[in-house]
């Protein structure tokens, strides 16, 4: 997607920095609520950052009540996406299956399931045998239990961005891609002048949805957004005829973080690398392959005989407690640092930020996700991350 117009307007009511799922969702929800003068500034193409490199999973299986609520609300919105905003996103609600191999994790996930159930999420504990029936590719040696929720699944991130952007444009939102923010100048109380390599736009409200690049944006306005970029790699198998007409849940071996889900005629798979260091690294690295191969051999050995088609590297936007930053300082708002679950929470967070900008009470209280929590020693750890 390219820029709608070659030059930035001199003035806007709201400027959103970042054109991934978070920025386009926020822009759509603001425009739908009647804010007619919204400008989105994106350094590359829409969805070209972390969003297009996401695995596409959607779930409400979290350990933190806020994340459960945001995930569950987003699933509702994903289900209705073809009607509002109006785009097919290939949503496959095949469930998320967490495989557990330590007593500590089993105890924690039992507690999580109780919390999820109390909030209306249909997750449940499974025996190892039940897990094997749901995900026949797995090897069960060493497993103690599993959790599963049938409403979880995956969809196509690029289509979600396209849907939000297309509907937002219809409501008057102006998108300026390949436009890099150089500096932000405060021109008085709650007024900002955003200087880019393609012009300057002034606005009374500024929203940072810049993902892994958010720390720099925060520094421009004197707000500490402790977000670090961390490379994550995923790969795709060649077609696997044995998967034909078989439902394959999004399966996660929680102990190793190895995961896979159906993608076309084959599988998408990946895992985190504990040796990865922060940085804007988007090249594929072989350093993780021995650990990945070991995890596959232990948990899904049949995949070792399947050819690998290709893969890519993307960036997680990680915070110290692996939980999001949502809040504001004056008229500077931010929604970033989702630590791997930003795509799946994008629809709900768009609603939340809309309400914060408009001075309304969101459907969920996100005050505990304010970036100031770290200085106040009130970190809010999320367990269910990979």
Q: How many CB atoms lie within 10 A of CB 29?
A: 26
Is there a contact between 138 and 301 (Cβ–Cβ < 8 Å)? no
Does one domain contain both 313 and 251?
Answer: yes
Residue 116 belongs to a domain:
yes
**pLDDT recorded at residue 3:** 45
Question: What residue numbers bound the domain in which 130 lies?
Answer: 96-150+229-318
Using the 3D structure, point to which of 278, 294, 318 is the last residue of a domain.
318
- What is the tally of structural domains in the chain? 2
Residue range 330-335: mean pLDDT, rounded: 96
What's the token pair of residue 138? 């797995």
Q: Last residue of some domain: 318, 341, 356?
A: 318
Q: For residues 156 and 264, is the Cβ–Cβ distance under 8 A? A: no
* 182 and 254 together in one domain: no
Query: Do 17 and 144 fall within a single domain?
Result: no
Percent of the chain with pLDDT over 90: 85
Cβ atoms 9, 35 nearer than 8 A? no
- Read off the DSSP letter of residue 303: G
- Whether 72 has a pLDDT exceeding 50, the answer reads yes
Residue 213: per-residue pLDDT? 96
| Angle at CA of residue 360, ends 59 and 193, nearest 5° | 95
- Position 188 scores a pLDDT of 63
Compute the average pLDDT of residues 14-20. Answer: 97
Q: What is the mean pLDDT of the chain?
A: 94
Residues 35 and 112 in one domain: no
pLDDT band at 1 (very low <50, low <70, confident <90, very high): very low
Residues 209 and 170 in one domain: yes
Whether the pLDDT of residue 33 is over 50: the answer is yes
Q: What integer is the mean pLDDT of 304-313? A: 90
- Among residues of the chain, what percentage have pLDDT more than 70? 97
Q: Give the pair of three-digit tokens for residue 78.
A: 């994903």
Q: Which residues pair with 308 in a beta bridge?
A: 237
pLDDT the model gives residue 6:
64
- What is the average per-residue pLDDT within 102-121? 98
In this predicted structure, the answer to whether residue 212 has a pLDDT above a threshold of 50 is yes
SS3 68: helix
Do residues 141 and 126 both lie within one domain? yes
Domain presence at residue 126: yes
- Residue 272 and residue 183 share a domain: no
Give pLDDT tens digits for 214-226.
999 999 999 999 9
We report the CATH number of the domain holding residue 221 as 3.50.50.60
Query: In this model, does residue 2 exceed pLDDT 50?
Result: no
Asked whether residue 222 is assigned to any structural domain, the reply reads yes
pLDDT of residue 264: 87
pTM score, whole prediction: 0.95
Q: For residues 261 and 202, state if they share a domain.
A: no
pLDDT of residue 190: 67
Q: What CATH number has the domain bearing residue 135?
A: 3.30.9.10
Do 236 and 289 reside in the same domain of the chain?
yes
Q: What is the mean pLDDT of residues 344-353?
A: 98
Does residue 279 lie within any of the structural domains? yes
On whether residue 105 sits in a domain, the answer given is yes
Residue 28 has pLDDT above 80, yes or no: yes
Residue 77: inside a domain? no
**Which pLDDT value is given to residue 365?**
97
pLDDT-based confidence at residue 247 (cuts at 50, 70, 90): confident
Strand partners, 329: 332
User: If you average pLDDT over residues 345-362, what whole number do you get?
Assistant: 98
Would you give the DSSP letter of residue 278?
A: S
> 318, 349, 365 — which closes off a domain?
318
In a domain, 285, yes or no: yes
What local confidence, expressed as pLDDT, does residue 194 receive? 97
Give yes or no: residues 123 and 170 share one domain: no
Q: Quick check: is 66 in a domain?
A: no
Mean pLDDT of 339-344: 93
109 and 165 fall within a common domain? no
Give the other-Cβ count within 10 Å of 51's Cβ: 25
Do residues 276 and 172 both lie within one domain?
no
Q: Is 343 exposed, middle or buried (0-12, 13-18, 19+ CB in 10 A)?
A: buried
Does residue 49 surpass a pLDDT of 90? no
- Nearest CA to 67 among 145, 152, 135? 152
pLDDT in tens, 122-165: 999 999 999 999 999 999 999 999 999 999 999 999 999 999 99
Instruction: Please give the average per-residue pLDDT across 275-299, as a whole number.
Output: 93
């Amino acid at each position: 997607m390219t820029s709608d117009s070659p030059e930035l307007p001199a003035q806007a009511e709201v400027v959103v920095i970042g054109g991934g799922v978070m920025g386009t969702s926020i822009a759509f929800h603001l425009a739908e609520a009647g804010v007619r003068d919204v400008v989105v500034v994106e350094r590359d193409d829409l969805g070209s950052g972390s969003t297009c490199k996401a695995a596409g999973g959607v779930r409400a299986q979290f350990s933190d009540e806020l994340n459960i609520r945001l995930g569950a609300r987003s699933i509702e919105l994903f289900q209705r996406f073809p009607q509002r905003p109006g785009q097919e996103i290939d949503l496959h609600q095949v469930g998320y299956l967490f495989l557990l191999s330590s007593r500590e994790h089993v105890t924690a996930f039992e507690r999580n399931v109780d919390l999820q159930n109390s909030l209306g999420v249909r997750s449940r504990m499974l025996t190892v045998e039940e897990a094997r029936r749901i995900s026949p590719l797995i090897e069960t040696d060493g497993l103690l239990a599993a959790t599963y929720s049938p409403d979880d699944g995956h969809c196509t991130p690029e289509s979600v961005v396209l849907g939000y952007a297309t509907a937002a444009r219809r409501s008057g939102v102006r998108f300026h891609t390949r436009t890099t923010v150089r500096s932000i100048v405060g021109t008085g109380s709650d007024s900002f002048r955003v200087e880019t390599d393609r012009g300057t736009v002034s606005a009374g409200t500024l929203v940072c949805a810049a993902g892994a690049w958010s720390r720099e944006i925060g520094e421009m306005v004197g707000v500490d957004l402790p977000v670090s970029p961390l490379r994550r790699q995923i790969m795709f198998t060649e077609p696997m005829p044995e998967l034909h007409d078989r439902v394959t849940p999004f399966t996660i071996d929680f102990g190793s973080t190895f995961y896979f889900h159906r993608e076309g005629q084959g599988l998408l798979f990946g895992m985190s690398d504990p040796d990865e260091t922060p940085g804007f690294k988007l090249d594929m690295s072989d350093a993780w392959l021995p650990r990945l191969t070991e995890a596959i051999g232990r948990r899904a050995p049949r995949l070792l005989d399947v050819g690998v088609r290709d893969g890519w590297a993307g960036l997680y936007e990680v915070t110290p407690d692996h939980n999001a930053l949502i809040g504001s300082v004056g008229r500077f708002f931010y929604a970033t640092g989702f630590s791997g679950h930003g795509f799946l929470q994008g629809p709900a967070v768009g609603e939340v930020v809309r309400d914060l900008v408009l001075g309304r009470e969101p459907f969920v209280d996100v005050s505990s996700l304010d970036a100031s929590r770290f200085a106040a020693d009130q970190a809010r750890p999320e367990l269910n991350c990979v």
